[in-house]
Amino acid sequence: MNEGILKTEKLTHVYSPGTPFEMVAVRDVDIEIRKGEVLGIIGHTGSGKSTLIQHLNALVKPSSGRVLLEGRDINESKESIKEARAKVGLVFQYPEYQLFEETVYKDIAFGPKNMKLPEDEIDRRVREAARFVGVEELLDRSPFDLSGGQKRRAAIAGVIAMMPEVLVLDEPMAGLDPQGREEIMGNILSYHEETGAAIVIVTHSMEEAARYTDRMIVLNHGSVAMEGTPEEVFSRGEELRRIGLATPVMTDVADKLRALGVEVPGTVYTVEQMVTALTALERGRRGA
């Protein structure tokens, strides 16, 4: 198992404490993000996903508990906050709404510039980030002339250019068409593979979590309800449904087939696994 890089300890966040609007968004959350993994954070709307991830780079201060980056509390000092913002990249939902510069190049350079990097390093990073998300051709264009998918990718490049060791994305595929989703996810994974950065994807889509993650954390009402590999989590379908989530369609299909007496082998939660399982079944039948 890889070693942890980012960790929360008894993290709790209360909104508007001491008023009638008081609400506990996150309660006693202990999670660990490990080097080089793809982690999925799953939860229904209002389960505290967004609040939780804003703690990971000190945008929000915990009401109690700590967030540790490589063993050090990130809220310790101004320097540690700065370090956390550089090492933990956070891509918000609909990041394209935060584009503001005249050209895509300048917008991607905003993060590295704030890190006070030398000019040539900024240039190198902008080009590299643009390459990861496939917007090299668009660097001189105004970000406002781009299509929705291109804007989204340019905005993600703005965070990738900071070369974070942990890249956290809140619903990166929301509102895109299937092709756009594939592209974005491909971009993120290529950054993951080339740099070995840990990726955290926040989603409520089980399909996406099943396809892309190594490990999943399921949140319910601000607390961790389940944790484990997709296989482990999806084997607890009943519990998932109870907290307003679902198992991937392929898992449901496999369960229904089994209920009908078809012996679908192995665990199934992606289309590929289903194909493998059914092929195996078919071969077994022919062999018999």
Partner 1 sequence: MLKDITLGQFFPGNTVVHRLDPRTKILLVIIYIAALFVAKSWISYACVLVFLIFAITISKIKLKVMLKGMKPLIFIIVLTAALNLFYGSGEPLVEFWIFKITRDGITRAIFMSARIIMLVMGTFMLTYTTSPIMLTYGLELLLGPLKKLKVPVHELAMVMSMALRLIPTLIEETDKIMSAQKARGAQFDTGNLIEKAKAMLPILVPLFISSFRRADELATAMEARCYHGGEGRTRLNVLKFAVRDYGALSVGVAVLAGVAVLAGFGL
CB of 235 to partner 1, least distance (A): 35
Binding mask 42-81 for partner 1 (x = CB under 8 A): ------------x--x-x----------------------
User: Binding to partner 1 by residue 283, rule CB under 8 A?
Assistant: no
For the bound state, the minimum distance from the C-beta of residue 44 to partner 1, rounded and expressed in Å, comes to 21
CA dist., res. 143 & res. 152, Å (int): 10
The backbone region for 160, taken as left when phi is positive above 0, alpha when psi lies in -120 to 50, beta otherwise, is: alpha
Of residues 94 and 255, the one with the C-beta less far from partner 1: 94
Q: CB-wise, 150 or 220, nearer to partner 1?
A: 150
- 112 or 248: whose CB is closer to partner 1? 112
Structure tokens at 37: 């993994």
Among 40, 62, 111, 172, binds partner 1 (CB under 8 A): 111
Residue 95 touching partner 1 (CB under 8 A): yes
What angle do the packed helices 119-133 and 104-114 form, to 10 degrees? 120
From the CB of 163, what's the least distance to partner 1, in Å?
12
Smallest gap from Cβ 127 to partner 1, in A, equals 18
Q: Give 100 or 258: the residue with its C-beta nearer to partner 1.
A: 100
Nearer to partner 1, 97 or 272 (CB): 97
> Is residue 187 part of the contact set for partner 1 (CB under 8 A)?
no
Question: Could you tell me how many residues of this chain bind partner 1 (CB under 8 A)?
Answer: 23
Does residue 114 touch partner 1 according to CB under 8 A?
yes
Does residue 23 interact with partner 1 by CB under 8 A? Answer: no
Q: Is 133 in the site for partner 1 (CB under 8 A)?
A: no
- For residue 95, the minimal CB distance to partner 1 (Å) is 7
Residue 141 makes contact with partner 1 by CB under 8 A: no
Which parts of this chain interact with partner 1 (CB under 8 A)? 54, 57, 59, 82, 85-86, 89-90, 92, 95, 97-101, 110-111, 114-115, 144, 158-159, 162
